A = this chain, B = another copy of it.
């Protein structure tokens, strides 16, 4: 996300203006905790007046934060949107590459978003983040051709998604070490490993693993 470069004097449509303000807000949230970003900061970053920011987000900071979160959530969802080409593990790898690029590009903002503990966190913002998790899980089932994941497979996939989130936060804390590509391979290997553990006690996962084993791994 780059700060909006559109000159303020150009007449923007309502949608363009809104998206310009969201971009400015996200770029600020990317490097500071949301409660440390004021509407003044957003106005300054977008090169517009404070009243204009208020006109678009009359609910103030919380409304802007939620809108920015929704927009980030939408971007994240697009990361998971992977064509059905190559093996499922290749697709998972490509989706993870995009996800890690998103984490890399939004660093502090991403941490603030997921770690909670922000004074503006509400049940609504939590629901937005949970929606992204659900969407990630649904993409995984779709690519694995699973229509009706059983409880053990669902628990495994959701645990792995949570572990990936934790890994992303730790990765940002550890100055992005190991390199993204190594982290991605590690996460894919963990995915296979936890499925293997579940396969020992769940026939659906066992069948799935058989199909994955026929994959050509990179």
Residue numbers of A with Cβ under 8 A of B are 33, 115-119, 121-123, 125-127, 151-152, 154-155, 158-163, 165-167, 170-171, 174, 177-178, 182, 186, 189-190, 193-194, 196-198, 200-201
- In this complex, what residue of B is CB-closest to A175? B151
Partner of A166, one of B151, B152, B162, B167: B162
A165 to B189, CA, bound (A): 21
User: What DSSP secondary structure best describes chain A's contact surface?
Assistant: helix
Partner of A151, one of B116, B165, B174, B196: B174
Are A197 and B201 touching (Cβ within 8 A)? no
A196 to B158, CA, bound (A): 20
Are A193 and B186 touching (Cβ within 8 A)? no
Partner of A126, one of B115, B163, B197, B201: B115
A75 to B189, CA, bound (A): 35
A190 to B161, CA, bound (A): 14
